[in-house]
Amino acid sequence: MASITTQPQNVVKAAPKLGTGPPTNEEIEFYYPSSLSWETVKDQVDSGDLGNLKRHPVMQIRYDTWIEGIKAQHGSIINYLVNIRLGWQDRSVSPSDGLPINEGAPDQKYITTDACPLPTPPPTRPFTPSDSTNGDESSIPKYFTSTLPSFYVKILPNDWPYSIPLAVKHFVFWSKVPIIHPGLVHPKIWEQVGIDGLWGFTGSPEGRTRTPRPNKNKTDLDPEEEESLLKTAHHEVELFVKNNWNEDEWETAWFVNPPRLQSIPGLAHGHVFARRKDTPTV
């Protein structure tokens, strides 16, 4: 008697249980499918048109509801991030506290006789003696570097990722010290970085690099000098990304919003979209 073979049938995945907090990968795949390709994500980062990098509209509604509960429970988003998500337990910030400006000090190599005044660093979370590893406030780094001790920086996955391919992971690196600071950004390009922020790519198979944007400040900088200063301003973050997402294994697109556009202005942070090179690009 001949054996009977059956044709494989498409297996319909059961709908995962829908929660109210940060979504699982299963929920994202089933309820909040990606609307952006990996190439589109990179193009948006490079152009600076970040308004299209957003959550699925239904997930955004879920996020808005969740965030109101977080505010009610912890007093503010910053309290939740610092004390719960980051585990930095900053007792100096209470729900009613403001965020004073940490003036910082520009690196000596950028004290020049140029006519343009030295800029003021962006606001950042105020330090307390407990923020230094040895209780000595003078040992606190003035600004972000690629070799910053882990005590001062933490990488977390974005619990509420944008509408990007599931194979692309969205991380946020948080810093206790400013990422955009006069010690890294020359006064000649400070206003430009204040408009554009920082961004770049690592591990790109096609060798993609940051595309220069038009200088909106109408400065008379020589293009070569301008690009050299911009390269220096981007260097530490770019090296940090390369150190944490090995270019042999990962392709990334990263950006640091200028302070005026940061969603959590009291906490310095940057975004990294990372895709393992052995996963699909769509």
Following CA atoms 267, 244, 193, 164 in sequence, which dihedral angle do they give, to the nearest 10 degrees?
-80
**pLDDT recorded at residue 92:** 44
Residue 150 has pLDDT above 70, yes or no: yes
**pLDDT recorded at residue 168:** 96
Comparing 2-16, 37-51, 217-231, 261-275, which segment has the lowest mean pLDDT? 2-16
Write the pLDDT tens digit of every residue in 101-146.
222 222 222 222 233 333 344 444 544 444 555 556 667 899 999 9
Length of the chain: 282
Dihedral sign for Cα atoms in the order 250, 44, 281, 273: positive
The span from the CA of 127 to the CA of 100, in Å, is: 10
Residue 97 has pLDDT above 80, yes or no: no
pLDDT-derived band of residue 178, with 50, 70 and 90 as boundaries? very high
pLDDT-derived band of residue 222, with 50, 70 and 90 as boundaries? confident
Residue 63 has pLDDT above 80, yes or no: yes
The span from the CA of 43 to the CA of 97, in Å, is: 39
**pLDDT recorded at residue 280:** 74
DSSP state of 51: G
In the Cβ-directed half-sphere of 188, how many Cα atoms lie within 13 Å?
18
pTM summary value: 0.80
**Structure tokens, 20:** 């109210």
Residue 267 has pLDDT above 60, yes or no: yes
Write the pLDDT tens digit of every residue in 223-253.
899 999 999 999 999 999 999 999 999 999 9
Cβ–Cβ < 8 Å for 167, 276: yes
Residue 80 has pLDDT above 80, yes or no: yes
- Residue 95: strand, helix, or coil: coil
Following CA atoms 88, 171, 253, 109 in sequence, which dihedral angle do they give, to the nearest 10 degrees?
10
**pLDDT recorded at residue 214:** 77
Dihedral sign for Cα atoms in the order 178, 246, 139, 189: negative
